[in-house]
Amino acid sequence: MSAEAKLREEICRIGASLYQRGYTVGSAGNISARLDDGWLITPTDACLGFLDPAAISKVDAGGNWVAGDKPSKTLVLHRAVYDNNPEMHAVVHTHSSHLVSLTIKGVWKEEDVLPPITPYYVMKVGHIPLIKYARPGAPEVAEQVAKIATKVRGVLLERLGPVVWESSVSKAAFALEELEETAKLWHLCGGAAALEEAALQELRDVFKARW
């Protein structure tokens, strides 16, 4: 099996896993992966739970659609990561409920949407800034991401959910899951009201080697 065929299979497997466990619903969300000659990305309005490997869009290095179904309109956002961080080989975006809810109720801080409440969040995710709302596929979002693509592992789009990048599709999905589960814990603990500044400082001290 070729490297491209393996990537197509991985995108489908991860998409189905995320969908089956409720990290995304309907036709929301998208996944992409870097190729030597361009990118693969899930088609526009495709359901991540029922992807067809052959239908996944292929885009050449110039951004031209060359195979598969029509690519997601968020391609410009994914390209902002790839063009500015050559070490990243995959991007995963979902509309995960706890993270979207966080953008509505209020994030911890705009530069860090969640506090460092667990060691795995610190190690696997790190700092995640908030990107203010813009329509899906808006070029201004891609421009903001391009500036920070090497500094963070992902962003949280207001009312649209997380976008996470990593060295593989699986690793990007794992980091996104850790991010969503941390948001869930934050909600369960009562959010900002549950942690006083002294407690947050203690957490920072514990995790300071990584945070």
Which positions are annotated as active-site residues? 120
Residue 46 neighbours by CB under 8 Å, 6+ apart:
27, 30, 55, 69, 72
What's the rounded Cα separation, in Å, for the pair 152 and 157? 14
Nearest one of 57, 52, 27 to 40, comparing CA atoms: 57
- The first and second tokens of residue 137, run together, are 């596929």
The Cα-based distances of 90 to 132, 171, 172, 185 in angstroms read 23, 8, 7, 26
